[in-house]
Amino acid sequence: MNNYEVVLNFFNAADKPVSASQIAKATGIEKKEVDKIMKQLKKEEKIASPKACYWEIKK
């Protein structure tokens, strides 16, 4: 599984909005890489931000 899939799966499993730092800590992926993946997910409209700096899977 590549980092993109790991981050996407983390969002799918999260029961509340999460930050990039939380994802990096939980997955072991560097925050810089998580930020890059999240930018792609935002572009694909797969995640949304209910509050500043926190993201969740788009429902």
Write down the pLDDT at residue 1: 87
Q: What one-letter code names the amino acid at 3?
A: N
CA pair distance 45, 27, nearest whole angstrom: 22
- Among residues 22, 39, 43, which one has the least CA distance to residue 31? 22
Continuous segment of H or E residues that includes residue 56: strand 54-57
* pLDDT tens digit sequence for 23-56: 999 999 999 999 999 999 999 999 999 999 999 9
The CATH number linked to 50 is 1.10.10.10
Q: Residue 11's pLDDT is what?
A: 97
**Domain total of the chain:** 1
Domain that holds residue 46: 3-57
Cα–Cα distance, 9 to 26 (Å, whole number): 12
The pLDDT tens digits for 4-26 are 999 999 999 999 999 999 999 99
